[in-house]
Amino acid sequence: MTTESSKPPSRQQRQHCWKLRDEYFACLDRLTIVDPVIVEKEPEKAKECLEKKSKYEDACMASWVEYFNKRRVLDVKQREYLEFSKQQSGKQP
């Protein structure tokens, strides 16, 4: 039986979710917080972003929020590692 919650988001809903996610992450970038889990544990650290956070979590499904948060950490780590390896290799682009 398909309940309302199991119906997948439409294109508009998806894009709405993505937009709010980007806003929230931009706010975190300004505070140089990488892992959104920190905000969960210590909300005082990111007071300005809390409103955006709640909007983001409302618009997106819970599994998506978790996925996006984890992806953010991975992406930052990956970018840092690529920078590091580029420096180490000494090759000029």
Partner 1 sequence: MVFFNKTFREEIMSGCNIAFRYKGAKNNPVFLFPIPSFSTIIIKMLRTGVRTFTAALRRQPQSQHQKTVTRFALQRRLLTTARDEEKARNRAAIGVFNWKSAALFLGTGAGLLLYFRQEKERVTKLREEKARETSKAYGKPKIGGPFELINAENGKRFDSTKELAGKFYMVYFGFTHCPDICPEELDKMAEVVDIAKEKKEPLVPVFITCDPRRDSAEIVKEYVKDFHPDMIGLTGDQDEIRKVAKSFRVYVSSPPSVEEGEDYLVDHSIFFYLMDPDGKFVDCYAKDTTAEEVVSSYEKYYKEYYADKK
Residues at the site binding partner 1, with contacts judged by CB under 8 A: 2-3, 5-11, 14, 18, 60-64, 67-68
- Residue number, 7 or 87, with CB nearest to partner 1: 7
Q: What distances in angstroms separate CA 72 from CA 8, 26, 28, 37, 93, one per listed residue? A: 23, 11, 11, 11, 26
Nearer to partner 1 by Cβ, of 66 and 83: the residue is 66
Residue 58 CB, shortest distance to partner 1, in Å, is 14
CA contacts within 13 A on the Cβ side of 56:
24
Q: Which is nearer to partner 1, 1 or 92 (CB)?
A: 1
